[in-house]
Structure 1
Amino acid sequence: MAHRSTLQYTPLPERAQKALEGAVPVDHLVDERVKKFESVIPRPPDKDGDKETIIDVSFTHHVTYTPGDYEVIKWHYVTAGSSSNEAIVFLHGIPDSWFQWHYQMAKLSTEYYCVAVDLKGYGQSETGPGNYLHEAVADQLYVLLQQIGLKQFNIVTHDRGTVQADFIVAKHPEAVLRYGRGEQHLYHYNPVIAPQGPKFQMAPWTGLMEDPKRFVVWVYTFVAGSFPSDEVMARVIQEFSYEGITKAVPRYFNSSTFRQEWICRRERLLGAWKCPVLIMEGRDSKSQPREFYEKSREYVPNAKDVKVRYISGGHFWTLESMEETTQAIRELLEM
């Protein structure tokens, strides 16, 4: 007979409760910010082997296919640095893409092989129907990493990419050297800090994601501590504007819930992590109260080492505090 989980939500600290007041952005504020990006138009898809230079570093776009879903799954990923070096796999969150990590990749590519993947449903990866349970997609993603020759790697993640990495780290301990785990519920959870879950779940009917430009601005207005530069925001918008994304991304939120992810993490995953883990959270994140991570060593009992790093900014610290994020990753790579 099935039973509901007896896990209890963690009460919110007073500081975190105050931070949530008025967090969901009002329409007129979003409207004002969207005007700044009226001239932004979608960029053409990249072809396998295309190169672009960012921060004086050459990035290479790759398009490949792996088995999965009905026949094959299309993957787009971007690399920087020499493939002979130790690898770092970067996974992004919502509403982002590989580009979320462009600064860190550029700075680390002299020493490491940096590989950033567009998650299934995002960017230029597969957006067709299929299995969008995070565990299933994590299994599919792992097949991709093996296919492109990454037998062992570090993994650095943010938000929704972290959900998938949690499974990879638990199920393939022989492959993961270190885990830089960013901006995602760990041991503690309270649905009050995740009002976006039901909103994203209803997106196909409410049209919340139908205008990529407005949706990206809405999310950043909601949980960013400060906006990245206009140039960076324009590229974030472009990467969320490829055909099919606004239909694919809601499939994740209709396949599972934040509560189910949390229960799975507590009951199956945390005890299975073996490698060193660096928990990275925004110091002023509205969706991830820093108080929830103070005893992370206790929550991941079998990892070789566990440290916590609070990074200046809100939810999007990868773009809000680029250099500080890079330094945190360097700390991980020394664990």
Structure 2
Amino acid sequence: MTSSIEYSALPERAASAIEGFIPTEEAIDKRTDHFASVVPREADKEGYNEVIDGVTFTHHFVDAPGDYENVHWHYVEAGDSSNEAIVFLHGIPDSWYQWHPQMAALAKDYRCIAVDLKGYGQSEKGSGDYRHEGAAEQLYAMLQKIGVTKFNIVTHDRGTVQADFIAANHPDSVLRYGRGEQHLYHFHPSLAPQELLFRESPWTGLMEDPKRFVVWVYTWITKRPISDDIMARVIQEYSYPGIVRAVPRYFNSSTFRQEWLTRRNTLLKAWKCPVLIMQGYESKTQPREFYENAAEYIPASPNVQVRYLPGGHFWTLESLDETTEAIRHLLTMSLK
């Protein structure tokens, strides 16, 4: 059955912004050469502590139910475990590390937990269920196992797709939802040319060189500079064995259109917590004009607000302080 829902027309500004969408091979080669000295880092061990921005981050590994047996998860925690929890979910081509500046800033008052999504970082990369709803249910099972039963959730990009299901399917668990950089009610396929590229990447070799792939994505949709030290770690986190084979499974399990229709038909009306929509002001893939009336699309939420962050798609690392301030605002939003 074909859906009667029509794509949204692109605003003139947004249509102009996606001209010359994909960076040139020469630009990517030059930027990749800049990080030639970056080498993969060793895998972490359970309980390993590293200090970032003066805050201790502890690495954890846990097996939780999924794929008819167990799924192996890696997550990183900062802050007192007795405090209210914030669960952070990253996008592509990232890992838990995407949220390290915000975790460091918030750890004094909150239990901050950042997860490597299934297929990414140091989490499970075996075959299994890579539908976003299936992976989200497995992630939720992991959170229950580690005792995180009520939590705020803050997300970016592909992590947002999974959080959409968690917020809809487990409304009693989600306190507030900081929803970042993902299509909501409006969508047009010209905004997602990467879908076909990522789906075909095992055959085209697009992700074969993790360093070049990370540089390719960040060069494509970043507006503000990101420090070389941070970029080097982003590359390392995407370079763990198995990622380049696991991540494309998501794009072979669903489409951007399917995600969009599921939101429109079922998910948006099921969100019952306060929602802060966070989008890059200069994002090419998610035009800011599409979010101006967000409250109309989420009828069951008691409070829907929109916050535009300076920068492009990767505002979590482009605008560190502004992103932290937005999350602090989310955490003040009344639950009623």
Question: Which TM-score band applies after superposition, normalised by the shorter structure?
Answer: over 0.9
Q: Deviations over 1:77-127 (max 9, x none)?
A: 000000000000000000000000000000000000000000000000001
AA aligned to 1:229 is S
- What aligned pairs does 1:86-125 form with structure 2 within 5 A after superposition? 86-125=84-123
2:149 & 2:83 partners in 1: Cα distance?
Answer: 13
Q: Distance in 2 between matches of 1:58 and 1:68?
A: 30
Match of 1:326 in 2: 324
**Structure 1 position 137 matched with structure 2 position 135:** yes
Asked if the contact 1:193/1:286 (under 8 Å) is kept, the reply is yes
Q: Aligned partners of 1:218 and 1:167: how far apart in 2?
A: 29
Gaps of 5+ in 1: none
The 2-side partners of 1:246 and 1:23 are apart by 23
Query: Which deviates more from structure 2 when the two are superposed, residues 222-231 or residues 25-34?
Result: 222-231
Q: Which residue of 2 aligns with 1:224?
A: 222
After superposition, where does 1:138-217 map in structure 2 within 5 Å? 138-217=136-215
* C-alpha displacement of 1:181: 0.1
- 1:182 aligned partner, one-letter code: G
Question: Runs of 4 or more off by more than 4 Å in structure 1?
Answer: none
1:271-313 C-alpha deviation (Å, 9 max, x unpaired): 0000000000000000000000000000001101000000000
Q: With structure 2 as the length reference, what TM-score do the two structures score?
A: 0.98
Greater alpha carbon shift after TM alignment, 281-290 vs 218-227: 218-227
Q: Which residue in the other structure is 2:297 paired with?
A: 299
Whole-Å separation in 2 of the counterparts to 1:122 and 1:225: 24
- Which residue of 270, 273, 288 corresponds with 1:272? 270
Question: How far 1:23 moved relative to its partner?
Answer: 1.6
Gaps of 5+ in 2: none
**SS in structure 2 at match of 1:220:** helix
Equivalent position SS for 1:254: helix
- Paired residues for 1:44-63 under 5 Å: 44-63=42-61
Amino acid at match of 1:12: L
The answer to whether structure 1 residue 252 and structure 2 residue 250 are counterparts is: yes
Q: Secondary structure at the match of 1:24?
A: coil
Q: Give the Cα–Cα distance (whole angstroms) in 2 for the partners of residues 159 and 227 of structure 1.
A: 19
Query: What count of residue pairs does the alignment treat as equivalent?
Result: 333
User: What RMSD in Å do the two structures reach over aligned CA positions?
Assistant: 0.6
- State how far apart, in whole Å, the 2-side matches of 1:296 and 1:320 are: 24
TM-score between the two structures when normalised by the length of structure 1: 0.99
Distance in 1 (alpha carbons) for counterparts of 2:151 and 2:69: 27
Secondary structure class of the residue paired with 2:22: coil
**Which amino acid is 2:152 matched to?**
N
CA deviation map 1:175-232 (0-9, x unaligned): 0000000000000000001100010010010000010000000000111112310000
Amino acid at match of 2:314: F
CA contact (8 A) 1:274 1:302 kept: yes
Cα distance in 1 for partners of 2:277, 2:269 equals 15
What is the 5 A alignment of 1:280-319? 280-319=278-317
Residue 68 of structure 1, CA deviation: 1.4
Instruction: Tell me if the contact between 1:220 and 1:227 (Cα under 8 Å) persists in the aligned partners.
Output: no
| Aligned ranges 1:11-90 → 2 under 5 Å | 11-90=9-88
Aligned-pair CA distance for 1:71: 2.3
| Distance in 1 of aligned mates of 2:302 and 2:119 | 33
Q: Distance in 2 between matches of 1:239 and 1:178?
A: 28
Tell me, what secondary structure is at the counterpart of 1:221? helix
Q: State the Cα distance separating 1:70 from its structure 2 match.
A: 4.6
- Measured in 2, the distance between the counterparts of 1:253 and 1:227 equals 28
How far apart, CA to CA, are the structure 2 residues paired with 1:160 and 1:57?
27
Q: Which amino acid aligns with 2:191?
A: I
Maintained 8 Å contact 1:123/1:245: yes
Map of 1:262 onto structure 2: 260
* Aligned amino acid, residue 165 of structure 2: F
SS in 1 for 2:161: helix
Question: Distance in 1 between the 2:145 and 2:139 partners?
Answer: 10
